[in-house]
Amino acid sequence: MQLRAFFRNAGQWLFKSPNQSLEQAYEAALAIKKIEDDYFDGKPIAQANSDYGESAYRYIQGEVERHILLVKQRMESFEADRSSLSQSRQMEVQSYDAQQDEYTLDLIDQSAIIFKKLTFIDEILGRYDQFMGPLATLESSTSDSSPNSKKVGADKPGKERAGLAARSGVLPRSILRTVDRVKQDLDPKAEVDVIKSFRKSQGKTKIAVRFVLLLVIVPLLTQQLSKHFIVGPAVNYIRQSNQAEVFLNTEMEEEALHELQRFEERLRFEVILGKVAALSETELEERVLDKALEIEQAYRERSAASVQNVFSDIFAVLAFVVLLKSCKRQVATLKAFIDEIVYGLSDSAKAFIIILFTDMFVGFHSPHGWEVILESLSRHLGFPANREFIFLFIATFPVILDTVFKYWIFRYLNRISPSAVATYKNMNE
């Protein structure tokens, strides 16, 4: 049994290294596919398939180049590790136990998974062979004997122009970006390119602002129109025909009783002070009865409005979702516009915004704000303000939100802008 376990562990160790390289290459290919789905509607990553500005597209191009370079490096490591495994060792691991064929089945399943991943990686690499101009130049300098790298470096040299700053080299990227800027300033076509880039940026800004207004105005209009012309008449008719209750919950009834009690006590107090003429007990009861009828009518309308709010808010949410589903291109443009604004801020501004929002939603004083929001929402929808639910929500949701936010800082912001993260930590301390 110990010898059998030894061979099983040895086989797992032998196949671990190439699988890690393949997994890293597969994750990089998935990242490229995600960029296609999120920013290009599933189409290949190209300037013709987008309306982004020059800076945004150059950033996306740099990300794709980085992922493809990682794919090719990991695939070279995968091929080297696989070729280093002798055929005799593989056969020895596969036939270590003739009666129990569990490990043989694992190898067969593993081969099928490896084949699917390799097929997906080949599809991504084949789609962007001509896209990777700088990457092909880098690979041709390191592997002159590879025919694929020569082909990539020779394909369409004039179509895609990448800056020196996008290439890996000995010099710092800041110096290369300076050289790129000088070259662009000396280019006779620079003015035309600047005007073209400005027009693209202007058009993208107009699309983003217009779409934000649509996201705000369309749900509000839908909510108000459906409430006054569709939901309102239907709810009023049903409540009048069925003689619905005045109060939707006991909390509303207690508020009405408290209001009537305050009116009666105030009226008696004013009679005692002489501000109101002396009233008999019958006249006092009539005044209180009139006020009770007035309060009943007000709370009847409030109950009907709460029911109307529930259905009209559902219509508003549906309109918002339909707007997002039917305007995917505008959503991508808005995301790119927000990314440019956020990433264009200085490190101190980013840190200030991060601290502002974290202290507002997950900070020490945030529970009071969440309590007000939940009570207002329950009153808007006609539900009783359940204190236990509110306290449970405050005890869990801000904690989850804080954890997600810290993970975002660690996972993404720390990679994109480490200086902003350092500034945030210094300001937060």
Amino acid at 216: V
Kindly state the DSSP code that residue 8 receives in the 8-state scheme: H
- 424 and 409 in contact (C-beta within 8 Å)? yes
Q: Hey, what are 283's tokens? A: 């006249």
Q: What is the pLDDT of residue 293?
A: 92
Looking at every residue in the chain, the average pLDDT score rounds to 76
Question: What CA–CA distance (Å, rounded) separates 107 from 11?
Answer: 10
Output the pLDDT for position 169. 54
Q: Which two tokens stand for residue 117?
A: 């991943």
Question: Do 43 and 327 form a contact (C-beta atoms < 8 A)?
Answer: no
DSSP type of residue 167: S
Q: What is the reported pLDDT for 294?
A: 93
pLDDT at site 176: 66
pLDDT tens digits along 81-129: 665 544 434 433 344 444 444 444 344 445 667 877 888 888 888 877 6
Q: To the nearest 10°, the Cα dihedral for 103, 105, 106, 111?
A: 130
pLDDT at 89: 40
- Residue 83 has a pLDDT of 58
Low-confidence ranges of the chain (pLDDT < 50): 1-2, 6-7, 10-17, 85-109, 133-162, 164-166, 168
The Cα 391–Cα 370 span in angstroms is 10
Sorted by sequence, the CB contacts under 8 Å of residue 351 that are 6+ apart come out as 420, 423, 424, 426, 427, 428
Closest among 66, 62, 84 to 15, alpha carbons compared? 84
pLDDT of residue 173: 57
H/E element, 273? helix 250-273
pLDDT of residue 270: 87
State residue 312's pLDDT score: 94
